[in-house]
Structure 1
Amino acid sequence: MVGKLARCVECGAKVNWITGPVEWDVKGERIAVDKVEHGICSVCGETYFSEGVSSDVQRRAVDAYKSAHGLLSGAEIRLLRQRLGLSQARFEQLIGAGPKTVVRWENGTVFQNRTVDTLMRVLRDYPQVAQDLLRRVDA
């Protein structure tokens, strides 16, 4: 929602703006995200976010989910890729992922499965494996 609404678009009641926790659904789990500025309708309970806030909440919720399930965060994936000196497209070639997959992992809009997460941990811990795999990709 753009800006801070004064009135609920659902019922017309006053929207109260607060900073506090909100819950976000990630793969069927409700994840609490702290310190989020949001509006709540005083009558129907509808929740509103200022522009850009919902994408930040989604990213933070996905990172919390990843942490709780032992998966690399978007920031950790970005750091790994940068340490290997690879662009997102080149990293996708290395691990056999589709176009724009790495950007989505890094931004927290989607996340990797456990198998790919394990592969990325191997590449992080043994960077020479990445070089060997890249030679095979280029062959």
Structure 2
Amino acid sequence: MKRNKSTVTCPQCGEQAQSVELEKKAEFKGVEVRYSANLHRCAGCGLELANLDDAADMQDRLTDAYRRAVGLLDGDQIRLLRQKKGFSQQGLADALEIGVASVKRWENGVIQSKAMDNLLRTLLEEHPCNEHTGNREFSITRIRLVLDTFALHLGRPLLKKNDRMLYAAKYLWYADMTARRDLGQGMTGATYAALPMGPQLNNYRDLVDEILKSDSADAQPLTNEEKAVIAAVAKAFPGNKAVYDAAHRESVWKQCITGAIISYSQADELSEMPKSSGTVAPR
């Protein structure tokens, strides 16, 4: 197929095929999507032609259309949000604690998992209130570090494969909320939803495997004050039932509608985790 900037010779009838942009419809991963495609269409027989570059571009547009249809950030959105935040591709990879190759693939058409999409949104999108994250950047390795530290105090692991985080999330929530109240910021940057089972790590189903795969050694170390908060929470709630029941007595959780994000600004209202008389939150 002989090509110049705007026309190619049709291999079927020999007429000239002009460059056109067409609206296409296709089913991808069980979802019907619409996308635009840059092709050449023969004026004589109507044959649509694409070279390797055209085909690669169509594939990228198709996967981006699919991502938008199922509520995932597409490649251009990831790139623009990253640049708006001032991240290089390596900088974003470092913040997410992943390899830079993953960031490059997502920006060039590879579909990210829902869990990773949630992490990208948490890090890159503007949130109306930083109180949803406790004035701290979200960190999976910090979640793992806090849970590992609880395990040392409690003498048992809190996180297991295929775990619903029924109890682990309560310990995390108390650690984050107590730290926000007493130290001025949470420990992990996690957001928590008010669910019937009590305060729960938002999108926990997508995050459990990522937390299990993470290495707490890669996390920002806990301060002595943060370690003291974890020790106090573990002492207050030595058993799973104790922390579960306590969380269900909290008005902070009771007053939220199901599914709502619990604001860290309500940390002062904790009733089951009294504030130490010697702890003063920084101004």
- For residues 101 and 57 of structure 1, the distance between their equivalents in structure 2, rounded to whole angstroms, comes to 21
Partners of 2:2 and 2:9 within 8 A in 1: no
Out of 56-65 and 26-35, give the one that drifted further.
26-35
Shift of 1:88: 0.7
Identify which of 137, 143, 147 aligns with 1:129.
137
Identity of matched residues, %:
28
Runs of 4+ with >6 A deviation:
131-134
Alignment-mate amino acid for residue 63 of structure 1: D
- For residues 88 and 220 of structure 2, the distance between their equivalents in structure 1, rounded to whole angstroms, comes to 15
Shift of 1:102: 0.9
Query: Unaligned 5+ residue runs, structure 1?
Result: none
* Other structure's SS at 1:85 match: coil
Task: Name the Cα RMSD after superposition.
Answer: 3.6
Residue 21 of structure 1 corresponds to: 23
Name which structure has the greater RCO, CA cutoff 8 Å, separation 6+. Answer: 1
- For residues 97 and 139 of structure 2, the distance between their equivalents in structure 1, rounded to whole angstroms, comes to 14
Residue 9 of structure 2 corresponds to: 6
Shift of 1:117: 0.5
Cα shift readout 1:71-110 (whole Å, capped 9, x = no counterpart): 01212212332233221122112223333211221122x0
- For residues 122 and 57 of structure 1, the distance between their equivalents in structure 2, rounded to whole angstroms, comes to 29
Residue 67 of structure 1 corresponds to: 68
Cα shift readout 1:32-61 (whole Å, capped 9, x = no counterpart): 323633236949x5x422574333322222
Alignment-mate amino acid for residue 122 of structure 2: V
Residue 77 of structure 1 corresponds to: 78
- For residues 61 and 70 of structure 2, the distance between their equivalents in structure 1, rounded to whole angstroms, comes to 14
* Other structure's SS at 2:9 match: coil
Residue 113 of structure 2 corresponds to: 113
Q: Residue 39 in 1 paired to residue 47 in 2?
A: no
Report the TM-score, using the length of structure 2 for normalisation: 0.37
* Other structure's SS at 1:65 match: helix
* Other structure's SS at 1:72 match: coil
Partners of 2:8 and 2:40 within 8 A in 1: no
- For residues 103 and 91 of structure 1, the distance between their equivalents in structure 2, rounded to whole angstroms, comes to 10
* Other structure's SS at 2:137 match: helix
Shift of 1:118: 0.9
Q: How many residues are aligned here? A: 132
Out of 16-25 and 115-124, give the one that drifted further.
16-25
Query: Unaligned 5+ residue runs, structure 2?
Result: 128-132, 143-217, 222-283
- For residues 9 and 116 of structure 2, the distance between their equivalents in structure 1, rounded to whole angstroms, comes to 45
Name the larger-Rg structure: 2
Alignment-mate amino acid for residue 79 of structure 2: R
